[in-house]
């Protein structure tokens, strides 16, 4: 089995959320997790410190880890604002170019999904940042309707990974859909708004979810980890990502990028 790893970049700074409810919810969640014993007081204080340092991304650290592990991961960036995604296009462009220069693939973390014009506009904005480079998309909060994939195909996206289901990749026009199988928050929170599970419970739940995909004979397992959590202040999240990569290696899974998977799929399907 092949594994495709990706990272959604939901935040770049804390202060970009001065006018929304992200920060109050963040502090409330940290307090709940401290009181229920999920995180230590020191970890809560470390998370608070990250806010005041105005740093809510760990892109360099994730790139370093993925490079060391031989993971050709993909980073999805917003080029539009909405649904609490609030960083500027200027900041997005800086990181998109930097990650591309470091040899990793980038794509759009989409906001508009319900009209062809909204989907096309984000495609064109990203294309101006990295002209001539094919790319794909994942919708923020995985939002989509019955027409979204058709709009993506018409816009020119090479692939999407917004549909959460235990299926193999499939085509919509020229667009390859890579369903999303394993997402960090699903594994760690397991339906709650805050952490409450032990690390062993999280690992066991993840093993079962991976096994469910394997049982479906899906050739490409997709894993999503948000870069923001690759830090000691989110020790369980960081440890989970490091563990799931090791687990995949121990089970003989091979890491691929979306691009290399598409090349193989097109070859097998005669395209």
Q: What's residue 271's pLDDT?
A: 58
pTM: 0.96
For residue 41, how many other CB atoms are within 10 A of its CB?
Answer: 8
SS3 5: strand
How far are the Cα atoms of 4, 24, 36, 156, 193 from residue 29, in angstroms, in the given order? 30, 9, 11, 39, 8
Name the architecture of domain 2-268. Alpha-Beta Barrel (3.20)
Helix axes 89-101, 116-129, angle to 10 degrees: 60
Q: Which residues contact 243 (CB under 8 A, 6 or more apart)?
A: 203
Cα–Cα distance between 102 and 132 in angstroms, integer?
17
Q: What's residue 173's pLDDT?
A: 97
pLDDT in tens, 107-143: 999 999 999 999 999 999 999 999 999 999 999 999 9
pLDDT in tens, 186-218: 999 998 888 888 999 999 999 999 999 999 999
Cα–Cα distance between 205 and 126 in angstroms, integer?
36
Q: Which of 147, 150, 144, 146 is nearest to 164 (CA)?
A: 144
Domain boundaries, the chain: 2-268
Number of helices (H), then strands (E), in the chain: 10, 10
Asked whether the predicted pLDDT for residue 270 surpasses 90, the reply is no
SS3 122: helix
Maximum separation of any 2 CA atoms in the chain, in Å = 57
């Amino acid at each position: 089995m092949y594994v495709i790893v990706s990272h959604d970049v939901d935040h770049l700074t804390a202060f970009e959320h001065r006018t929304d409810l992200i920060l109050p919810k963040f502090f409330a969640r940290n307090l709940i997790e401290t009181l229920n014993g999920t995180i230590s007081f020191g970890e809560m204080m470390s998370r608070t410190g990250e806010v005041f340092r105005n740093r809510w991304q760990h892109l360099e650290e994730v790139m370093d880890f993925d490079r060391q592990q031989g993971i050709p991961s993909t980073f999805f960036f917003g080029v539009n604002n909405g649904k609490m995604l609030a960083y500027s296009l200027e900041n997005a462009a800086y990181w998109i170019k930097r990650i591309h220069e470091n040899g990793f693939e980038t794509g759009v973390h989409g906001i508009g999904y319900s009209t062809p014009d909204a989907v096309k506009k984000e495609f064109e904005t990203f294309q101006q940042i990295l002209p001539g480079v094919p790319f794909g998309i994942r919708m923020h909060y995985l939002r989509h309707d019955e027409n979204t994939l058709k709009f993506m195909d018409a816009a020119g996206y090479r692939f999407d990974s917004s549909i959460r289901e235990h299926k193999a990749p499939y085509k919509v026009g020229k667009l390859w859909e890579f369903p999303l199988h394993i997402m960090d928050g699903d594994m760690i929170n397991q339906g709650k708004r805050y952490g409450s599970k032990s690390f062993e419970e999280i690992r066991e739940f993840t093993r079962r979810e991976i096994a469910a995909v394997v049982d479906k004979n899906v050739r490409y397992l997709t894993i999503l980890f948000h870069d923001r959590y690759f830090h000691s202040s989110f020790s369980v999240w960081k440890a989970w990502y490091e563990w799931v990569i090791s687990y995949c290696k121990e089970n003989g899974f091979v890491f691929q990028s979306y691009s290399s998977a598409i090349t193989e799929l097109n070859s097998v399907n005669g395209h």
